[in-house]
C-alpha cells in the first residue's frame, strides 16, 4: 500500500466541505497585536495580623499525606498478592 501524496485526498471531499480558498480575515498588523505598557505598581498596606489571643486555622496537609500513604500502601499490597 502506497502512502497518500499531499493533497491527494482533496478530490474525494465534496465541495461544501472543502476549506476556503483564501484566508477569511486580513492579516493582523503590529498595532492590533502590540499590548500597551503595564500600569505602575501601587503600594498596598499590609493586612493587619490576627490578635495574639486567637489560634490560626490549621493546615490539612498531614491528613492528606496520611491518606495518600495508606492508599499507596494498599495498592502495593494488592499488586503483590496478584503476582
pLDDT tens, position by position, 28-56:
888 888 888 888 888 877 766 655 556 66
pLDDT above 70 (res 65): no
Distance CA 69, CA 61 (A): 12
Query: Three-class SS of residue 19?
Result: coil
Residues 6+ apart with CB under 8 A from 73: none
Whole-number Å distance between alpha carbons of 83 and 78: 9
Place of cell 501524496: 5
What gap in Å lies between CA 72 and CA 14, rounded to an integer?
54
Q: How does residue 77 score in pLDDT terms, banded at 50, 70 and 90?
A: very high
Model pLDDT, residue 58: 67
Amino acid at each position: 500500500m502506497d502512502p497518500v501524496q499531499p493533497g491527494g485526498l482533496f478530490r474525494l471531499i465534496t465541495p461544501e466541505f472543502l476549506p476556503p480558498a483564501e484566508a477569511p480575515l486580513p492579516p493582523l498588523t503590529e498595532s492590533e497585536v502590540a499590548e500597551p505598557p503595564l500600569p505602575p505598581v501601587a503600594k498596598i498596606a499590609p493586612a493587619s495580623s490576627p490578635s495574639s489571643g486567637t489560634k490560626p486555622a490549621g493546615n490539612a496537609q498531614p491528613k492528606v499525606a496520611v491518606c495518600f500513604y495508606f492508599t499507596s500502601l494498599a495498592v502495593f499490597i494488592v499488586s503483590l498478592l496478584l503476582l
